[in-house]
Amino acid sequence: MNIVLLEPEIPENTGNIGRTCVATNTGLHLIRPFGFILNERGLKRAGMDYWNRLSVTEYINYKEFIDKNSTAGIWYATTKAGQTYTDVQYGPDDFVMFGKESAGIPEDILKENGTRCIRIPMYGDERSLNLANSVAVILYEALRQNGFPGLNTKGSLRDGTSLQSPRNTEPSL
C-alpha cells in the first residue's frame, strides 16, 4: 500500500503518519509544497526513531506525482465523496491520497476522479477527523482487505505465552 499526502501542513501529522507507514510497511509519498521543513524537529519527534526506516518519496507537485504513477490505482480521501472507504476494493499496491489539513484535496482533482473518491462516515455536520487518524482508519481497512500482508497478526506476553483468541463467540454480558 501507499499513502499520499498532498501539500501537508502540520509536521506532527506527517510524522505520525510516517510512523504508521513504517509499522505497516507502507510507502509514504509527499507532494510539495509542505507547510514545514521536512527535517523540522516536530516532524522528527512525531516520527521518533522510525523516520530513518520510512520508505518516503517526494514530488515537486501533483502533476509530477501523477506522471510518475500514471498506471497506479489511486483513491482520493475526501469528506465530499459519495461512497465510504469500506465500499471499495483496494489492491495491494494502491495509493490513498489525503489533502492538506486546512482544505483537503482541491475540487478540480476530485471532479476528475469522482468514482475514486472515498470518505469516512461522521456524525452530524462534523467537518473532518484529524489527518493522521484518517490515514490510519483507511490504511488498516485496505490492509485488512489484503490479508494484512507481512504484518504480525499475533502477539505474545513478556513471558512468551500467547493469549488465546476465541473465534465466533458471543460477548460476555
Q: Return the HEC string of 55-79.
A: CEEEECCHHHHHHHCCCCCEEEECC
- Domains of the chain listed by start with CATH number: 2-145 (3.40.1280.10)
Statement: residue 165 has pLDDT above 80: no
Reported pTM: 0.91
The confidence band for 132, taking pLDDT boundaries of 50, 70 and 90, is very high
Instruction: Select the more confidently predicted residue: 29 or 48.
Output: 29
| High-pLDDT (> 70) share of the chain, % | 89
Statement: residue 52 has pLDDT above 70: yes
pLDDT tens-place string over residues 91-116: 999 999 999 999 999 999 999 999 99
